[in-house]
Amino acid sequence: MAATVGRICGARLLKNYGLVTPQVLKITVCQLSTSTHGWTRNRKLLLSTLGVVGGGVGALLFALEQSVQASEGEAHPAHQPWSHNGWFQSLDHASIRRGYEVYKQVCKACHSLQYIAFRNLVGVTHSEEAAKAEAAEVMIRDGPDEQGNYFERPGKLSDYFPSPYPNENAARAANNGAYPPDLSLICSGRKGGEDYIFALLTGYMDAPAGVILREGQNYNPYFPGGAISMAQVLFNEAAEYSDGTPATASQLAKDVATFLRWCSEPELDDRRLMTIKVIGMFSMLAAIVYYFKRHKWTTMKSRKLAYKPVSKK
């Protein structure tokens, strides 16, 4: 195509129409010609080889990861039909509130939520007044005062959930040497997220033959190694719901897993709502841009080029 246009320009067939000069068009055609700036055979072969090798290495790494996961000792949690699955599904706020009640009555004795403040509960699980009342039930160590002494005061909305232990050594001493992890980001920090939390809380069983547990340890197939220092804490009626929901063990595990999912991403609902707004806005912009493009280029696409041979005279 480029060579044909070049020959037309060389024959001066377009000179009388005042479109462009043959010299300028010929230079432009030569710059765009694939025969001038095309890739060499060796370069094409090199890039093809790199692409094949890169794809093979990626497939090999994926296969190795899958084989390593299959050879691990712990069981893999099953995927549960969570109400917040999907790009446009929000968290169940009633379940988040019940999960907070489970954390408050069961989990709070050992685990902290150091990255969650009481103000985060406002508009999600509690009203502002209810969140203030929840914060006021907790005594926060503050200070120093004018005399340089530390003191305790009722909590405020700006305070974060306090740790049940003053330091890590105290936590280990109270839990047979094991350190209870902070639960603020536990769903994001564990493979499987809320599926792992639910399976772990409901997966306690007797240790199979050949598995030796030390004193104070329990067997859970979903925990790495199987031996976990945390005892089973969720049983039927282990906590009481304020809305009257039957507090079965599976219901407790489901609600606290949803609550911890929210703790890991408190902005999840806002981000998904923003996604819906962005999709709607960009859909309108795409339609406008498409119409403008059609309107702008319609004269170019509908033009007619006439051929007038040069007279031999």
Q: In one letter, which amino acid is 129?
A: E
User: What is the rounded distance in angstroms from the CA atom of residue 69 to the CA atom of residue 75?
Assistant: 10
CA 100 distance to own-chain centroid: 22
Annotated ligand binding at 230? The verdict is: yes
Give residue for tokens 């190694």: 225
For residue 191, what are the CA distances in angstroms to 155, 185, 194, 218, 274?
34, 12, 9, 21, 26
Annotated ligand binding at 111? The verdict is: yes
Neighbours of 166 (CB within 10 A): 10
For residue 74, what are the CA distances in angstroms to 69, 94, 127, 230?
9, 32, 41, 16
For residue 297, what are the CA distances in angstroms to 19, 207, 293, 294?
18, 74, 6, 5
Residues belonging to the binding site for heme c are 107, 110-111, 230
Residues belonging to the binding site are 107, 110-111, 230
